[in-house]
Amino acid sequence: MLRFISGRLLKAVVILICITVLNFFLIHAAPGDPAAVMAGEAGDADPAFLQQLRERFGLDKPLYVQLWIYVSSVVQLDLGYSYRQQLPVLQLIGERLPATLLLSLSAFVISLGLGVAAGAFASARQGKWADTIISLVALIFYATPLFWLALMGVLLFSVQLGWLPGFGYETVGANYTGLARALDIFLHLILPAMTLGLFFMAVYARMTRASMLEVGRLDFVKTAKAKGLRPGVIQHRHVLRNALLPVVTLAGLQAGQLVGGAVLIETVFAWPGIGRLMFDALSQRDYNLLLGVFVVSAAMVLLFNLITDVLYRLVDPRIKVAS
Amino acid sequence: MADTIDTNAVTSDETAAAVIHPGALKEEGRGEPVVHIDRLSIALPDGADRPYAVDRVSFKLFPGEMLCVVGESGSGKSMSANALMGLLPDTVRVAQGRILLGATDLITMPADALYAIRGRRVAMIFQEPMSALNPLMKVSAQIEEVFEAHGLLTPKERRQKALSLLTEVGLPDPPRAADSYPFQLSGGQRQRVMIAMALALEPEVLIADEPTTALDVTTQAQILKLIARLQKERNMAVMFITHDFGVVAEIADYVTVMQLGRIVEQGTAEEVLFSPQHPYTKKLIAAIPRPGEGLARVDAREPLLAVEKLSKIYRMGGGLFSKAREVHAVKDVSFTLGRGETLGIVGESGSGKSSVGRCLVRLQDPESGRVLLGGQDMAHLKGEELRAMRRRMQMIFQDPYSSLNPREKVGRIIASGPIAYGENEKKALARAAELMEMVGLDPKGTNRFPHEFSGGQRQRIGIARALALEPEIIIADEAVSALDVSIQAQVLELLGQLKKDLNLSVVFITHDLRVAAKICDRVMVMQKGEVVELGTGSEIFDTPRHPYTKSLIEAIPGRAKEALMTA
Amino acid sequence: MKDFWKRFSQNRGAVVGLVILLLVVVLSIVAPFIYTKSPWAMVQRPFIPPFTMDAFVLGTDPMGRDLAAGLAHGARVSLLVGLVSTVVSLLIGIPIGAIAGYFGGWVDDLLMRFTEFFQSVPSFALAVVLVAIFQPSIYSIVISIAVVSWPPVARLLRGEVMSLRSREFVEAAVLSGQTHSTIIWRQILPNTLSPIIVLASMMVAAAILIESSLSFLGLGDRNIMSWGYIIGAGRTVIRQAWWVSFFPGLAILLTVLALNLVGEGLNDALNPRLARKGR
């Protein structure tokens, strides 16, 4: 297992370096002077800045030298400087990362847990009204634009009903501490985490349902029936476990979407995470920050992928023994 | 289905009345019947090719007796078994009849009560040992589950019982097998696990649905012996479903022959095997391939094809950091093939017989060795030269369902070879129609798609395609093993006729020694990638020298009674 | 073809989806004729609630623009971006997947590493970065949606081609002397058509969602009225004018839902064996 994880980590690092290279070429492919692109709008007014940047990144040197400088600085965790915010990119991201991790992990758990449960429930009642309703709701959430769902959530639960806060990470100026603060953050978390989670819940519910129906037709399920096992036992012991494998794979593939969704959700809810940071970077044309966020979000996706890979190996004995 | 040739005989059979031998009716001395299936009819959904999957079928199972239910695909034999198990698919329903287990009718029984019967009083084993076990559960857990389902024993006792069952079905090293996952066991071992599971609660009735069809012949022989032994020891009633009359001859006490949902003949094993009355039964028994009919001659002329020290190694996995696993699929295989000769290559799965065929036509590249066709080495040709040589050697494939492109019309499928070699499209299509006629199909069929043809007809189309390039050698890789026995016989006959008419040389690859001995001039037996014996059909069959060949022949089911079977 | 419609229409959801989709298509075609004025034109006072004035059924936005006109014009953008970006990603994904699956070996390794790379990058974030750096325009939007959407196509096609590659009819084609390109075009690709069509319908839906999300973040083409843009513009006034955000979102939901339903219907109709098992 340790060997497997280290192998995966190595692969993740290679991918991250590739992303850095991609970033480098994006900066150069962008219309205009790379220095101006890096500085964002902050550089427009100040030629001294641009000159400073050119020297720092060797922008007058050959391209491969520039690439080397850029990649090696990123490898040393130097994501550059946000000239707009007057702070190192890494520091900006570091401050925001916990909020994003909290949001996306909660959404991940909610979506996977509720999705699998709903899908399993629906498949056991195939063709009955419960199945129809779950399938229909899943289909609708699957088609709903995330940001719109978030807005409607705010409108209903925050503006109209006043049940939940629809803005920010905690109550500004309340200065709660300890448990009270945790509760406050939890209340703030509910709406964004639920909206982000609902879309993916729909994805997993559909997948689980389809996968369970598929597995339910396999020979070993017939064997289980022939043993005289009750349908409930067959469903959870034989069908569900086998049906989860493709769902776990899908969860890994969906991780990228989840992180992307966080950008939208954080924007709507003013959640102080890296997604919100990305939105700010966009509106301020702060490309260095934008690319920094991009690299970090890619790293997050790789982390999610690693988690699902490990999960998969825990569920499926065939891989464990084969390696 | 648009079947013109394969069902010709069937339609004439249908008119014949069912034959019930006196032995089937005699019940004295057989004890009380455990199961009585009484005029059972199972309705198929609307739009199916016939109204009933099973039509007024009646039979009884007695303790300690083995009833073989024989039939080809679609005969309704599995459906009757599923009904007895209460495991009918949702799409069909019981239209009439009773299934009596002892005195209770399983059909009118509430679903809840059936749980107590399944696995406990009636147990079942299936055809595919590969997929019949849960891949994510350890073997012992799957056996222990049977006790758990019926609320019996403590967990510790269940484990003990599982181990003793695994010992009883003859698994080597039971504790290790108990802690294995199914994928770590071979096909035969898995089938033994299935049997252990079915026997766990000492059921009165065991239903075995083609339990040996997916197994190699030597494994099949062992499993058949095991089932027969356990049946006698436990005085169980066994319903054994099979398509193979050899298996019937080996183990049956009583036989029921089914065709298109109806019983056509019923009687004791002796009655049905040695004096069959119904034309359909006669046809099935006649279709059992018998050795010794092939011409035992070795061509003295110069060989058309000479294979020298052919080797093939498969490398699996392996990457930057890990070494690839190597499997020697073919090891130093040498043989010759004369013009007009049929050479059989026989072996069990993993013997390398298919790899030899695929290396000959270069669907796979051999590791080393030479394949001399008319003096030129095929094994190492490339590009255009290979393409030119290839048309001299064509192949007939195993699976009639995957060997034809579903999106191409049959005429085009047959003609595409000549077209690829630059033949005028119109001429090639006209030739395709001629070839259709040659293989016994309606030439108008060239405008239809493959799915409009039956399995046997598709195989004929595959033969026509192979002939289109006018090859000198045909390689038939398990070309009849996916077909029902009666159709198998027709296709073999066609092949023999074409071979004679066109003076073809044939390499016939098969797992079935009987088929090989019947149609081949010489037979080559392979084991684990190596040739163990090569000789004329009768030499191999009547005086085998290698112990492996002997064991293969001994494993052929029903061999002892074969001589007595008359059609 | 007759069978196809019969099976398609057996799925009621698919028929409903098809009807909705046709309505949206018709709307996008007739929009310039009904709402002849530019959707950007200020036509009335701002914040008119919906269903209060007959001339402006859906009310007006904070700039006094007709919301109904915006919706009608936005339909064309959504459908067009969805369609074109899907075509572009098919053009990228199909060759990559087909070549990887057919030739295998190091070619496959190389192409699949490339695909995997794109799959492990957070796709929406990449789309945002691409549009931002190349400046928002209808072209950069289409290209960036295509760039983030092709990997599933390549993977699907590779899987299909690999399984077809080992089918006996393809081996027979090899033996009968057909060239690689003939085999790919005549034997393999026609058999991958149904899964591609099904996937494509779902991809159009996903592309519409991405386009609206980009526009919502202010990365839309400044000259083109789109649904996502209207929602983004209505976001800050959600407390006063819920309808500005509500209706375009509903339009997106219905269109995407319709496409997914049609996709499922196509799946039933094109893969009858699978479908029968799946219901």
Distance from CA of B459 to the nearest CA of C (A): 12
Tokens matching residue C139: 């072209």
DSSP string, B318-331: --SSSPPEEEEEEE
Residue B301: per-residue pLDDT: 59
The sign of the CA dihedral B231, B232, B238, B244 is positive
- Nearest-angstrom CA–CA distance, B408 and A54: 62
φ/ψ (deg, to 5) at A286:
-95, 85
Helix axes A146-153, A178-216, angle to 10 degrees: 130
B390–C contact, CB cutoff 8 A: yes
Confirm whether C40 is domain-assigned.
no
Distances (CA, A) of B466 to A282, B43, C103, C177: 64, 41, 25, 12
Helix axes A274-283, A287-315, angle to 10 degrees: 150
User: In chain B, what percentage of residues exceed pLDDT 70?
Assistant: 93
Tokens matching residue B350: 């993993």
> Contact C123/A300, CB-based, under 8 Å?
no
Q: Which of A151, A207, A303 to mutate to test the interface with C (most CBs of C within 10 A)?
A: A151
Residue B187: per-residue pLDDT: 86
Confirm whether C236 is domain-assigned.
yes
C-alpha closest to that of B114 among B152, B67, B82: B82
Confirm whether A105 is domain-assigned.
yes
Given a cut of 60, whether residue A321 has pLDDT beyond it is: no
Confirm whether A234 is domain-assigned.
yes
> Contact B420/C177, CB-based, under 8 Å?
yes
ipTM above 0.90, yes or no: no
A316–B contact, CB cutoff 8 A: yes
Given a cut of 50, whether residue B10 has pLDDT beyond it is: no
Distance, CA of B310 to chain centre: 29
φ/ψ (deg, to 5) at A63:
-60, -45
> Contact B397/C171, CB-based, under 8 Å?
yes
C-alpha closest to that of A261 among C227, C128, B303: C128
Task: Using pLDDT thresholds of 50, 70 and 90, give the confidence band for residue A24.
Answer: confident
Mean pLDDT along residues B349-377: 89
User: In chain C, what percentage of residues exceed pLDDT 70?
Assistant: 96
Confirm whether A283 is domain-assigned.
yes
CA atoms within 13 A on the CB side of B507: 29
Residue B291: per-residue pLDDT: 64
Confirm whether A87 is domain-assigned.
no
CATH number at residue A198: 1.10.3720.10
Task: Using pLDDT thresholds of 50, 70 and 90, give the confidence band for residue B7.
Answer: very low
Chain A residues with CB-CB distance to B149 below 8 A: 227-230, 233
Residue B317: per-residue pLDDT: 61
Fold agreement between B18-121+203-285 and B305-392+471-566: yes
Question: With a CB-CB cutoff of 8 Å, which residues 273-292 of chain B face chain A?
Answer: none
Confirm whether A88 is domain-assigned.
no
The string of pLDDT tens digits covering residues C174-185 is 998 898 899 998
> Contact C177/B395, CB-based, under 8 Å?
no
Chain A residues with CB-CB distance to B126 below 8 A: 219, 222-223
Confirm whether A189 is domain-assigned.
yes
φ/ψ (deg, to 5) at B208:
-115, 110
Distance, CA of B416 to chain centre: 31
Our count of domains for chain C comes to 1
Decide the pairing of beta strands B342-346 and B505-510. parallel
- Rg (C-alpha) for chain B, rounded Å, is 26
Task: Using pLDDT thresholds of 50, 70 and 90, give the confidence band for residue B49.
Answer: confident
Distance from CA of A179 to the nearest CA of C (A): 32
Distances (CA, A) of B315 to A30, B293, B367: 46, 41, 11
Residues in chain C: 279
Task: Using pLDDT thresholds of 50, 70 and 90, give the confidence band for residue A193.
Answer: very high
**What is the domain range of residue A253?**
97-287
The string of pLDDT tens digits covering residues A229-263 is 988 889 888 999 899 888 988 888 888 888 888 88
Residue B6: per-residue pLDDT: 44
Residue B194: per-residue pLDDT: 92
Question: What count of CB pairs under 8 Å joins B to C?
Answer: 62
The string of pLDDT tens digits covering residues B400-458 is 888 999 889 999 999 999 999 888 999 999 999 999 999 999 999 899 999 889 888 99
C-alpha closest to that of B416 among B474, B382, B462, B364: B462
Given a cut of 50, whether residue B480 has pLDDT beyond it is: yes
DSSP string, B62-129: -TT-EEEEE--TTSSHHHHHHHHHT---TT-EEEEEEEEETTEETTTS-HHHHHHHBTTTEEEE-S-T
Domain with residues B305-392+471-566, CATH architecture: 3-Layer(aba) Sandwich (3.40)
CATH of domain B18-121+203-285: 3.40.50.300
Residue A85: per-residue pLDDT: 77
Number of C-beta neighbours around residue A108 at 10 A: 21
- Nearest-angstrom CA–CA distance, B242 and B127: 10
For chain B, the domains span 18-121+203-285, 129-202, 305-392+471-566
Could you tell me how many helices (H) and strands (E) chain B has, helices first? 22, 21
CATH number at residue C187: 1.10.3720.10
Q: Between these two residues, A31 and A310, which has the higher pLDDT value?
A: A310
Confirm whether C151 is domain-assigned.
yes
Confirm whether A43 is domain-assigned.
no
Q: Between these two residues, C86 and A162, which has the higher pLDDT value?
A: C86
> Contact B181/A317, CB-based, under 8 Å?
yes
The string of pLDDT tens digits covering residues B517-549 is 888 889 999 999 999 999 888 888 888 899 999
Given a cut of 90, whether residue B389 has pLDDT beyond it is: no
Q: What value does the mean pLDDT of chain B take?
A: 86
> Contact C129/A294, CB-based, under 8 Å?
yes
Residue B12: per-residue pLDDT: 47
Chain C residues with CB-CB distance to B409 below 8 A: none
- Nearest-angstrom CA–CA distance, A315 and B561: 50
Residue A192: per-residue pLDDT: 92
Chain A residues with CB-CB distance to C260 below 8 A: 139, 142-143
Most distant CA atoms of chain B, gap in Å: 77
Residue B8: per-residue pLDDT: 40
Residue A124: per-residue pLDDT: 86
- Nearest-angstrom CA–CA distance, C237 and C112: 46
Confirm whether A264 is domain-assigned.
yes
Residue C277: per-residue pLDDT: 35
Name the residue of chain C whose CA is nearest to B364's CA. C171
Give the nearest partner residue to B403 out of C168, C176, C179, using CB atoms: C168
Give the nearest partner residue to C169 out of B363, B403, B417, using CB atoms: B403
Mean pLDDT along residues C240-249: 85
The string of pLDDT tens digits covering residues B312-333 is 988 876 555 556 678 888 999 9
Number of C-beta neighbours around residue B144 at 10 A: 23
Task: Using pLDDT thresholds of 50, 70 and 90, give the confidence band for residue B112.
Answer: confident
* C-beta separation of B67 from B238 below 8 A: yes
Question: A23: helix, coil or strand?
Answer: helix
Question: B14: helix, coil or strand?
Answer: helix
Residues C65-77 as b/e (b if ≥16 CB within 10 A, e otherwise) read: bbbbbbbbbbbbb
Our count of domains for chain A comes to 1
**What is the domain range of residue C181?**
2-35+63-274
* C-beta separation of A57 from A38 below 8 A: yes
The string of pLDDT tens digits covering residues A85-126 is 778 888 889 998 999 999 988 999 999 999 999 999 998 888
The sign of the CA dihedral A286, A290, A292, A293 is positive
Number of C-beta neighbours around residue B431 at 10 A: 20
Residue B5: per-residue pLDDT: 41
* C-beta separation of B217 from B555 below 8 A: yes
* C-beta separation of B125 from B239 below 8 A: no
C139–A contact, CB cutoff 8 A: no
Q: Which of C11, C12, C110, C124 to mutate to test the interface with A (most CBs of A within 10 A)?
A: C124
Given a cut of 70, whether residue B130 has pLDDT beyond it is: yes
Given a cut of 60, whether residue B13 has pLDDT beyond it is: no
Give the nearest partner residue to B402 out of C168, C174, C178, using CB atoms: C168
Given a cut of 70, whether residue B298 has pLDDT beyond it is: no
Tell me C121's DSSP state: S
Q: Which of A22-36, A109-123, A174-188, C64-78 has the lowest mean pLDDT?
A: A22-36
The string of pLDDT tens digits covering residues B230-279 is 999 989 999 999 988 889 998 999 999 999 889 999 999 999 998 899 99
- Strand partners for B67: B239, B254
Distances (CA, A) of C132 to A272, B209, B438, B497, C250: 21, 64, 68, 73, 27
Residue B15: per-residue pLDDT: 61
Q: Is B114 exposed, middle or buried (0-12, 13-18, 19+ CB in 10 A)?
A: middle
Q: Which helix (H) or strand (E) holds B41?
A: strand B35-43
